[in-house]
């Protein structure tokens, strides 16, 4: 036969609409809780007798009582633990019970949303009952929490009502997926081709990089102008200035400097420019492609917002070296130089513009660095954790 029943420790907390009870019992077996006529009954089948225990309370004047009885492991070992709580005010007859290995959690809904001055009808608190400080809130704090939830719900409804349904939503998403996929495949081809040639030819692959890769790079960088259009028409949320700086900067170097000077096309620096560009895009375009379908792969997210830290300075350095090497050639050939008519009779050398462009290059690098740093902090920075009571 079972020994005398014991009372476990019970911790409680409340909100305006709910009561929380945490029963300090581990490995509770077969809990069965039901409330009828404002009386909550807890039943458990004990293995040693297979008898159903139940405590039925007949309250007078519709007084609410909670009666618990369970077999579990408490501070004094295997016993039958039970306690009874008579609530201060009526509650809903459908409690929610959740059993864990360490405790038993019960949530009870109040019939009326108000703040109780105490849990039990009796003024003197039972010895086994104590506040649950992990979830405890004062009335003012609970009202603030309730108000914040209501405001958040109202704001969400307002935003949803204001945002019109876009009939072209799926078409836009399909376009963005296709654009990012094409760019990813293009830069993947560039990266793989250059890597294979580097392993086979070694340093000799540096000198004919432009003649081997230029056509695909022309295609990818021309297509990149769509990123500016996407930002202008609001198709993506990316800010416009960083996109303009990157696209125009790369295309100026590719089409004007490298594309117009055959002497520059065989320089080893071309290899490093194309290689750094392609590595950066191998992480950027697949990240955006997955974002279009609301998929986040954490390793890819980390690479997208971390790889630029070494790659952008190295790419900018390679571009600066290319500009410096091209200045003497433009000065000697006079290509793209602007001659002013009489009486000024002055020629503005294109090499002067390139010297100014060097300054703009590093200013543009600062703009992109600042933008990417904010994005990295937003996606990879420490998340604010909400306190749970």
Q: Hey, which residues are catalytic here?
A: 312, 319
Residue of 107, 282, 322, 92 lying closest to 195 (CA atoms): 282
**What is the DSSP pairing of strand 96-99 with strand 104-109?**
antiparallel
DSSP 3-state of 162 = helix
DSSP 3-state of 180 = helix
For 223, phi and psi rounded to 5 degrees? -65, -25
Question: Which helix (H) or strand (E) segment is 190 a member of?
Answer: helix 169-201
Q: Cβ distance 81 to 7 under 8 Å?
A: yes
DSSP 3-state of 13 = strand
Give the C-alpha separation, 292 to 296, whole Å: 10
Give the C-alpha separation, 368 to 242, whole Å: 6
Torsion angle of alpha carbons 380, 384, 388, 389, nearest 10°?
A: 170
The three state secondary structure string of 348-387 is: ECHHHHHHHHHHHHHHHHHHHHHHHHHHHHHHHCCCCCCC
Give the C-alpha separation, 45 to 27, whole Å: 14
Distance between start and end Cα atoms, the chain: 41
Q: Cβ distance 110 to 17 under 8 Å?
A: yes
């Amino acid at each position: 036969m079972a020994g005398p029943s014991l009372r476990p420790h019970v911790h409680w907390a409340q909100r305006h609409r709910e009561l929380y009870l945490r029963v300090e019992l581990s490995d509770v077996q077969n809990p069965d809780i039901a409330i009828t006529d404002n009386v909550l009954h807890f039943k458990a089948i004990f293995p040693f007798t297979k008898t159903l225990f139940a405590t039925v309370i007949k309250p007078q004047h519709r007084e609410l009582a909670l009666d618990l009885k369970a077999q579990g492991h408490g501070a004094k070992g295997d016993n039958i633990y039970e306690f009874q709580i008579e609530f201060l005010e009526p509650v809903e007859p459908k409690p929610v019970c959740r059993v864990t290995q360490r405790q038993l959690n019960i949530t009870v809904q109040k019939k009326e949303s108000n703040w109780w001055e105490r849990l039990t009808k009796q003024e003197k608190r039972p010895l086994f009952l104590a506040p649950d400080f992990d979830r405890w809130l004062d009335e003012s704090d609970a009202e603030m929490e309730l108000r914040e939830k209501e405001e958040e719900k109202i704001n969400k409804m307002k935003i949803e009502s204001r945002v019109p349904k876009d009939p072209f939503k799926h078409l836009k998403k399909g376009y963005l997926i296709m654009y990012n996929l094409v760019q990813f495949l293009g830069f993947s081809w560039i990266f793989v081709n250059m890597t294979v040639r580097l392993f086979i030819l070694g340093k000799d692959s540096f000198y004919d990089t432009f003649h081997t890769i230029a056509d695909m790079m022309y295609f990818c960088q021309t297509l990149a102008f769509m990123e500016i259009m996407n930002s202008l028409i609001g198709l993506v949320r990316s800010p416009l200035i960083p996109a303009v700086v990157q696209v125009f900067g790369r295309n100026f170097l590719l089409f004007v400097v490298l594309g117009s000077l055959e002497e520059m096309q065989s320089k080893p620096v071309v290899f490093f420019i194309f290689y750094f560009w392609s590595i950066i895009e191998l992480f950027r375009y697949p990240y955006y492609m997955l974002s279009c379908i609301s998929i986040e792969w954490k390793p890819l997210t980390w690479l997208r917002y971390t790889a630029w830290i070494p790659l952008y300075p190295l790419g900018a350095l390679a571009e600066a070296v290319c500009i410096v090497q091209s200045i003497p050639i433009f000065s000697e050939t006079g290509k793209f130089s602007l001659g002013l008519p009489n009486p000024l009779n002055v020629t503005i050398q294109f090499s002067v513009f390139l010297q100014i462009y060097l300054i703009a290059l590093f200013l543009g690098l600062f703009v992109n660095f600042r933008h990417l740093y904010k994005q990295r902090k937003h996606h990879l920075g420490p998340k604010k954790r909400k306190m749970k009571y």
